[in-house]
Amino acid sequence: MSETRNTEQGDVLPSIALLGVGAMGGAILHGLVESGIDIRGGIRISDQWSERVSELASLHPGITGYDGSVDPTANRRAVDGAGIVIVAVKPHQIRDLLREIADSLGDDVTVISIAAGVPTSALEEHLPENVAVVRVMPNSPARVRAGVTGIAPGSRADGRDLERAKVLFSTIGDVLVVDEERIDALTSISGSGPAYVFHFIEKFADAARARGFSDEDAKLLVEGTVRGAVELLTATGDTPANLRVQVTSPGGTTQAALEVLDAANIDSILDRATQAAVVRAEELAAG
Ligand SMILES: NC(=O)c1ccc[n+]([C@@H]2O[C@H](COP(=O)([O-])OP(=O)(O)OC[C@H]3O[C@@H](n4cnc5c(N)ncnc54)[C@H](OP(=O)(O)O)[C@@H]3O)[C@@H](O)[C@H]2O)c1
């Protein structure tokens, strides 16, 4: 199964409880607010990080903050009556959190987990039998609403639960629906992928410095080139292969450089790197 979607005008979501508003929870909240999507009943946020809760609750009048540092019932109050509950805490914190909120969840709720490496079967175990779970894997560019999120329905999720997750995560970028058995593979591409790109940019800047450019100039040249290449790819809709050929004159400078990259087996390196990420995800899931 594989399916993409973008936020559309007229999309509506039921009230949302967001438990944990750290790096990714905060990114999701910003995306929801900035998209202007219609959320009937508003957004409730809960975390024990008081300053963060107050700061984020002030983003929009439709957000209500629950401060877990002073209110032990904060999570339960936040989920009471919510149509969607997003659990955005660290993987090792999620089981306790689900046990805490289980009795306060409504019948119609969709629980969405962003916890890396925690299968829906493990989440379902801690929730009442009528509660559906959807597992998602966003990535860090979600912070600027340019994320890619993989979405996998759990065994109790139906079309409505899936649609809710698709609409919600479309507010922070592209979404792709996959079977849960494909989530580790997806994580090895889009979840870990931003780090591969940042690593490439770091090494490319090292090469620019080796050609005599200052730090500042290397940053301008490398980051501007990467940004421009991606924007050209997006704007033209052309394939990367065609765009590469267009700037590679036979026997020219670009070809000389590309021959070095190909001789280093860049395709095999990426294949082995992504496979290593999949193997590590399986090891982590096995404990
Ligand atoms: N960051 C990413 O790029 C990324 C990408 C994909 C998936 N994820 C997943 O997203 C989840 C969150 O990651 P993150 O990077 O956003 O972590 P984070 O910055 O540590 O945020 C988690 C927040 O949840 C709070 N929290 C912990 N237990 C809680 C509870 N019982 N009730 C309410 N709030 C609670 C934490 O408070 P304390 O600090 O006091 O514990 C923290 O403020 C993880 O499961 C991770 O696997 C993250």
Q: Which atom belonging to ligand 1 lies closest to the Cα atom of 20?
A: 24
C-alpha–C-alpha distance, residues 134 and 158, integer Å: 10
C-alpha–C-alpha distance, residues 222 and 218, integer Å: 6
E-strand stretches of the chain = 3-5, 12-19, 38-47, 63-67, 84-87, 110-113, 132-137, 147-153, 173-177
Q: pLDDT per position in the chain (287 positions), as tens?
A: 445 455 666 789 999 999 999 999 999 999 999 999 999 999 999 999 999 999 999 999 999 999 999 999 999 999 999 999 999 999 999 999 999 999 999 999 999 999 998 999 999 999 999 999 999 999 999 999 999 999 999 999 999 999 999 999 999 999 999 999 999 999 999 999 999 999 999 999 999 999 999 999 999 999 999 999 999 999 999 999 999 999 999 999 999 999 999 999 999 999 999 999 999 998 888 87
Q: What value does the mean pLDDT of the chain take?
A: 95
Instruction: Give the residue, out of 18, 19, 48, with the most ligand 1 atoms within 8 A of its beta carbon, to mutate for a pocket test.
Output: 48
Give the pLDDT confidence score for residue 285 in this predicted structure.
81
| Residue nearest atom 48 in ligand 1 by C-alpha distance | 24
| Residue nearest atom 32 in ligand 1 by C-alpha distance | 47
List, in order of start, the domains of the chain with CATH numbers.
3-179 (3.40.50.720), 193-284 (1.10.3730.10)
- Residues flanking ligand 1, CB < 6 Å: 19-20, 22-25, 46-49, 68, 75, 88-91, 93, 97, 114-116, 137-140, 191
C-alpha–C-alpha distance, residues 82 and 138, integer Å: 22
Q: What are the DSSP calls for 232-252, one per residue?
A: HHHHH---HHHHHHHT--TTS
90 CA to centre of ligand 1 in angstroms: 4
24 CA to centre of ligand 1 in angstroms: 7
Give the pLDDT confidence score for residue 200 in this predicted structure.
98
Q: Which atom belonging to ligand 1 lies closest to the Cα atom of 116?
A: 47
Instruction: Give the residue, out of 90, 186, 190, with the most ligand 1 atoms within 8 A of its beta carbon, to mutate for a pocket test.
Output: 90
Closest to 113 in 3D by CA, of 183, 37, 195, 196: 183
Give the pLDDT confidence score for residue 1 in this predicted structure.
42
Instruction: Give the residue, out of 21, 44, 89, 151, with the most ligand 1 atoms within 8 A of its beta carbon, to mutate for a pocket test.
Output: 89
Give the pLDDT confidence score for residue 287 in this predicted structure.
72
Q: What digits encode the pLDDT tens for the residues 116-147?
A: 989 999 999 999 999 999 999 999 999 999 99
C-alpha–C-alpha distance, residues 68 and 46, integer Å: 7
Q: Which atom belonging to ligand 1 lies closest to the Cα atom of 27?
A: 16
Q: Can you read off the two tokens belonging to residue 281?
A: 């995800």
